[in-house]
Amino acid sequence: AIGAEGTLTVRTVFRGGAIDILVEDTGCGMSQETQSRIFDLFFTTKPNGTGLGMGIVRSVIDQHGGHMSIDSAPGKGTRVRLHLPAGRAA
């Protein structure tokens, strides 16, 4: 969670036949335990969460031949990197 004063930054980078999507926030960050479970279906830290979001994101990235990583620490915010091979132009 970012909170009222937080910042969310989304950047895209194209290089070497691949696209990186970087999503960074200045929120509360995640513990190692949360990071280890973040892709488990139905795992959530939110009272009204479904625990589906990050599992679905990872599935879509995998289906397109990509991968993703998370860098986070409590009190330091979170950075998610999505790496996808670039497709051919139609």
Cβ proximity of 52 and 40 under 8 Å: no
Domain assignment present for 28: yes
| Among the listed residues 37, 26, 33, the one whose alpha carbon sits nearest the alpha carbon of residue 78 | 26
Domain assignment present for 41: yes
> Taking 70 as the threshold, does the pLDDT of residue 90 lie above it?
no
> Taking 90 as the threshold, does the pLDDT of residue 3 lie above it?
no
Q: What is the pTM of this model?
A: 0.83
- The count of structural domains within the chain is 1
Domain assignment present for 47: yes
Listing DSSP states for 34-53 in one string gives HHHHTTSTT--SSTT--S-H
Domain assignment present for 2: no
pLDDT band at 73 (very low <50, low <70, confident <90, very high): very high
Question: Residue 54 to residues 15, 29, 41, 64, 88: CA-CA distances in angstroms?
Answer: 25, 15, 8, 16, 27
Range of the domain at 74: 8-85
Give the domain CATH number at 41.
Answer: 3.30.565.10
Domain assignment present for 56: yes
The Cα–Cα gap between 69 and 19 comes to 14
Domain assignment present for 3: no
Domain assignment present for 1: no
